[in-house]
Amino acid sequence: IWWLDPELTYGNAKPFVFTQGHSVCNRSFFPCFDTPAVKCTYSATVKAPAGVQVLMSATQSTYLEEEGVYQFYMEYPVPAYLVALVAGDLIHADIGPRSRVWAEPCLLPTAISKLSGMVERWLTAAESLYGPYIWGRYDIVFLPPSFPIVAMENPCLTFIISSILESDEFLIIDVIHEVAHSWFGNAVTNATWEEMWLSEGLATYAQRRITTETYGAAFTCLETAFRLDALHRQMKLLGEDNPVSKLQVKLEPGVNPSNLMNLFTYEKGYCFVYYLSQLCGDPRHFDSFLRAYIEKYKFTSVVAQDLLDSFLNFFPELKEQCVESKAGLEFERWLNATGPPLAEPDLSQGSSLTRPVEMLFKLWTTEPLDSAAAASSVDLTKWRTFQTVLFLDRLLDGSPLPHEVIKKLSECYSSQLDSMNAEIRIRWLQIVVRNDYYPDLYKVRRFLENQMSRMYTIPLYEDLCTGTLKSFALEIFYQTQNQLHPNLRKTIQQILSQGLNPLPAIDTTAVTTDTPAMVLEDKVSEATNGAISLRDVNVSA
């Protein structure tokens, strides 16, 4: 349960509270069987002060104004982690026949402009693929930047971090992913957190089928290329034999399942589901199977064998061909082998969008550098966001770059990137930090002074503390810590404390003498060190 003082909201007007149950946190909210294997209906009575709007992930709600009491009822069985509550200075607007958006008053116009009419379009596309939307309403609430992840698929009421509103393409993908969860994850749920890919891999596949139907194959292939790049980046960080790269991960006693939430859950899971769809020959045949799968198992929890047995029974000709035992692509190997996906999708339909990225990256990284040719070859302001972040991610992978290259990159692009969305800006600033490019460091300070969300602060602090700029990071943190949620503040303190001598030895010469004292953790716990960093990517539950 996250309690926020008014200062941690956008409007600074009223306190705010929200819950985040995924994956095993709702045991601190109410007594429950906190496992996805158990589903039930629920009802709730919530009393709140006048002027505080309360919402829950429920199909029915009433408000008794004279008593200040809200009553909620979820008529369909859900696992405990999908029970969610939010309360604060929230107002709403309808954006479709079965959808409305909730946000703080200062944010509502932006939310309306970005989503009006869009959600119904996505729901209709999903229904054409996977059958009726069974939850009644699909509402969205935008939460303050303290929300610890990007989005959460609470039934009837998707939670999304407000920070993503400025990044249109990321907003589209994140909402469509949560829409897909209405079928895969919410209606049919993984029975154990060791098989989280049953929710995330299938939802990612469905998300890309929906985007293909609504935005075309090229856009879907571009977004997929961006995510698979991130998967391979994480693979290099972790090593190919790391057990967390399995689709069926073994949960040791005492390990929080959220620590196992990584890109393999999403993208390796997606690749397996895509491979199954390719075995059918036509993705529409696989859509038909998924509709039957949803109809058979809705409101229940399943294991991987349920999905695979249903698949082979739906396609008896594939069963006769023993596709589950095809050498090198055995279903069992997909589930239990470490390392990258055994097969990846053909993304050639996105080449009109990905080829310019590859060409520009090559121009900037081929020696000797012809900066004039590189600068004149592409106008980044005309690119899609996913093209720009794919380009910047590849520059990040190649950092540190030669000084001449980073200097010319800054001259060509820095002022253009200043006016772009935060997903683009943070990547450029990470390039600045990883290359110790001091002329643009003031932009890093300005960015961190205006960001309160985990997804736009942690990656920069990690990079600052990996290199030679830890004292610069300390100075910014001293000045901004009071605007951060205590949980985020503690995480950044842990990053700052790694590898430090006792506190007096810290170089604080740039910090003013009236700076409030900051408590640094002695060491990051082994559990924290053991968690998987989700740097460079945004992950939606």
The annotation places the binding site for Zn(2+) at 177, 181, 200
- How many Cβ atoms are within 10 Å of 100's Cβ, its own excluded? 18
End-to-end C-alpha distance for the chain, whole angstroms: 17
Contact 184, 170 (CB under 8 A): no
Phi, psi of 92 (to 5 degrees): -130, 165
Give the residue from 285, 283, 282, 278 showing the smallest Cα distance to 326: 278
Ranges of beta strands (E only) in 337-492 are: none
Peptide bond preceding 15: is omega within 30 degrees of 0, i.e. cis? Answer: no
- CA distance linking residue 423 with residue 421, whole number of Å: 6
178 is an active site residue: yes
Beta strands of 289-377 (E only): which ranges?
Answer: 300-302
- Report how far residue 226's alpha carbon sits from residue 391's, in angstroms, rounded to the nearest whole number: 9
User: How far apart, in whole angstroms, are the C-alpha atoms of residue 84 and residue 86?
Assistant: 7
Beta strand pairing status for 188-190 and 157-161?
unpaired
Instruction: Using the structure block, give the residue that is written with the tokens 């249109």.
Output: 168
Asked if residues 447 and 460 have their Cβ atoms less than 8 Å apart, the reply is yes
Q: Are 74 and 155 in contact (CB under 8 A)?
A: yes
The set of residues, in sequence order, having a beta carbon less than 8 Å from that of 278 and lying 6+ positions away, is: none
- Is residue 437 flagged as an active site residue? no
Distances (CA, A) of 123 to 37, 234, 294: 27, 32, 16
Structure tokens belonging to residue 185? 């994850």
**Phi, psi angle pair for 12, to nearest 5°:** 55, 25
Token pair recorded at residue 403: 């000084």
According to DSSP, residue 539 is labeled -
- Within the chain, how many helices (H) and strands (E) appear? 21, 14
Annotated binding site: 177, 181, 200
Residues in the chain: 541
Hey, what amino acid is at 507?
D
Q: How far is the C-alpha of 224 from the C-alpha of 354, rounded, in Å?
A: 11
Place of tokens 């293909």: 212
Which amino acid appears at position 63 of this protein?
Answer: Y
Catalytic residue among 81, 130, 138, 266: 266
Picking from 218, 113, 220, 134, the residue whose alpha carbon sits closest to that of residue 177 is 220
Question: Which residue, chain included where needed, has tokens 């989700």?
Answer: 534
- Measured CA to CA, the distance from residue 363 to residue 371 in angstroms comes to 8
Which listed residue (178, 423, 462, 475) is catalytic? 178
Among residues 465, 463, 467, 486, which one has the least CA distance to residue 535? 463
Distances (CA, A) of 393 to 320, 347, 537: 44, 18, 10
Catalytic residues, by residue number, are 178, 266
